[in-house]
């Protein structure tokens, strides 16, 4: 039974009050709160909470933040002039709702600091240039599409294409750093939430992560509010001088929740029935990321977006691409062909990631792209079954080796040094030489542990090349020189 002592105390403080005159699922019409500002927090006499969506002469429209129904005739009182969320170190390692309440069964969370859920983004003069690398632990991404701290990178792809696996690897790769990860799950099934939390616990990543959850059983308003609440939690650490990584999984579900709320409120539908301010809803969220000039701290944003049928030209994907500083696109067709991670090389891009690379890393990225382009061209000729020149055969061999090198299971991550040793050894070994990829990968991981100088890096690369290059390829229609020698045939 709800104890309405809090409600009575607010009424006695002479806060604005009103009466519920209409209820339409997630929307509540209240008479008497006409002068209340949008975004205010409202408490009903049955304990349910709501947020003011808009106010007019006819009354205020309230978004029901609770799963409990609010009956007609219920009384409402303004609890706070602006909706805010609890923040602090006590949240790290916990699983909370969009309202900041613990849902992991580990007891209450003592928080004294609060921040507005809807906070303006820092201005241009308050920002600094992004330049520090953000390793994801995934070789294909770190080498081809590197990220930097403070960057906004959209993660796009069809269902089951590997988006969540990639984000989990990125979160795990932050172990040992001072970065805080805030993982926001929007309108997810309970099994998805449990799977993610279990994965974070197994890898130890939960110790530097806050998980903010709105499930499919929560109200639509909480699904809409969740990413903004998570962002406010991140801003508390960011403005306090700490590096934060925000993951919004996913903004497609957020957009659907906002669309449903807008349609219920009789809002004018736009493209694909999304409200006209859908772009603003996402841009105002993602623009809150960046790097502060005052303390040098960063807040990175990784919004996940679903692209059914691999269609990145739909309204939401194009909208998010225009807001962010790059995108990693996961291709379902590549996934089905066994390319894991299934990152699309043609559609993915990182517009500012190169700033976080040194000259060696930039050269490695450039060489990788050239080798893969040469492979594409040579493989296209090979489709016609014509004889190939030795140079084209070497390009095909190199391309296949690179794709083999990029294969990475979801439970493995590699440091930037490990990636540089391994991939440089792969590229420096000629394409017509057989190269043992898996042993080389394991050897690079061991050697990278002791590398502190460029000389040691070069030595490690040379050792990996020497230990794993086997012998030249031999054409099937040409005699093997070794066999000819055994038979006494002149070569």
- Please enumerate in sequence order all residues whose Cβ is within 8 A of that of 481, keeping only pairs 6 or more positions apart, or say none: 491
Q: Give strand pairing partners of 116.
A: 84
**Set 115, 127, 340, 351: catalytic member:** 351
Q: Are 19 and 76 in contact (CB under 8 A)?
A: yes
The number of CA neighbours under 13 Å toward the Cβ of 348 is 23
* Sequential pLDDT tens for the chain (491 residues): 566 888 899 988 889 899 999 988 789 999 988 888 888 999 998 888 999 998 888 889 999 998 888 889 999 999 998 999 999 999 999 999 999 999 998 999 988 899 999 999 999 999 999 999 999 999 999 999 999 999 999 999 998 888 999 999 999 999 989 999 999 999 999 999 999 999 999 999 999 999 999 998 888 999 999 999 999 999 999 999 999 999 999 899 999 999 999 988 888 888 888 998 899 999 999 999 999 999 999 999 999 999 988 888 899 999 999 999 999 999 888 888 788 899 998 899 999 988 989 999 999 999 999 999 988 888 777 766 567 777 888 888 898 899 999 999 888 999 999 999 999 999 998 878 888 999 999 999 999 999 999 999 999 999 999 998 876 544 444 444 444 444 443 43
Domains of the chain in start order, with CATH, are: 5-82 (2.40.30.20), 85-354 (3.40.50.300), 359-472 (1.20.150.20)
Contacts 24+ apart (CB under 8 A), 453-457: 454/360, 457/417, 457/420, 457/421
- Residue 224 and residue 227: Cα distance in Å, rounded? 7
- Residue 321 and residue 318: Cα distance in Å, rounded? 5
189 given a catalytic annotation: no
Of 326, 330, 328, nearest in space to 151 by CA: 326
Could you tell me where the beta strands, DSSP code E, fall in 46-153? 49-56, 59-64, 75-80, 84-87, 95-97, 113-116
């Amino acid at each position: 039974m709800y104890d309405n002592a809090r409600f009575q105390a607010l009424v006695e403080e002479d806060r604005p009050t009103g009466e519920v005159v209409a209820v339409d699922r997630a929307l509540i019409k209240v008479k008497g709160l006409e002068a209340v500002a949008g975004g205010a927090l409202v408490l009903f006499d049955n304990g349910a909470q709501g947020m003011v969506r808009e106010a007019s002469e006819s009354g205020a429209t309230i978004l029901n933040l609770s799963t409990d129904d609010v009956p007609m005739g219920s009384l409402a009182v303004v609890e706070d002039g602006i909706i805010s969320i609890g923040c602090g170190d006590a949240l790290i390692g916990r699983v909370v709702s969009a309202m900041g309440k613990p849902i992991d069964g580990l007891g209450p969370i003592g928080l004294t600091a609060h921040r507005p859920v809807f906070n303006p983004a820092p201005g241009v003069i308050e920002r600094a240039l992004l330049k520090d690398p953000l390793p994801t632990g995934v070789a294909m991404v770190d080498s081809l599409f590197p990220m930097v701290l403070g960057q906004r990178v959209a993660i796009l792809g069809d269902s089951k294409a590997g988006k969540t696996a990639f984000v989990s690897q990125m979160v795990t790769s932050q172990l040992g750093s001072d970065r805080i990860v805030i993982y926001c799950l929007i309108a997810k099934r309970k099994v998805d939430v449990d799977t993610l939390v279990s994965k974070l616990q197994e890898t130890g990543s939960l110790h530097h992560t806050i998980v903010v959850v709105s499930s499919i059983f929560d109200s639509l308003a909480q699904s809409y509010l969740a990413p903004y609440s998570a962002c406010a939690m991140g801003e508390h650490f960011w403005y306090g001088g700490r590096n934060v990584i925000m993951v919004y999984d996913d903004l497609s579900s957020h957009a659907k929740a906002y669309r449903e709320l807008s349609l219920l409120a009789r809002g004018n539908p736009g493209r694909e029935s999304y409200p006209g301010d859908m772009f603003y809803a996402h841009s105002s969220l993602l623009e809150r990321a960046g790097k502060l000039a005052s303390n040098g701290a960063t807040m990175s944003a990784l919004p996940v977006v679903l692209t059914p049928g691999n269609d990145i030209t739909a309204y939401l994907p194009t909208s998010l691409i225009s807001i962010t500083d790059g995108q990693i696109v996961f291709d379902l067709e590549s996934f089905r062909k066994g390319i894991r991670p299934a990152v699309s090389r043609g559609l993915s891009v990182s517009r500012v990631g190169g700033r976080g690379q040194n000259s060696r890393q930039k050269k490695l990225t450039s060489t990788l792209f050239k080798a893969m382009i040469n492979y594409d061209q040579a493989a296209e000729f090979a489709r016609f079954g014509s004889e190939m020149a030795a140079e084209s055969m070497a390009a095909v061999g190199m391309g296949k080796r690179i794709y083999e090198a990029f294969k990475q299971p979801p439970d493995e991550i590699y440091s930037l040094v490990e990636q540089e040793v391994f991939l440089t050894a792969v590229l420096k070994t000629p394409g017509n030489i057989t190269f043992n990829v898996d042993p080389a990968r394991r050897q690079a991981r061991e050697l990278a542990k002791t590398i502190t100088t460029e000389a040691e890096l070069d030595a490690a690369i040379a050792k990996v090349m020497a230990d794993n290059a086997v012998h030249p390829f031999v054409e099937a229609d040409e005699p093997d020189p070794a066999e000819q020698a055994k038979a006494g045939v002149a070569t």
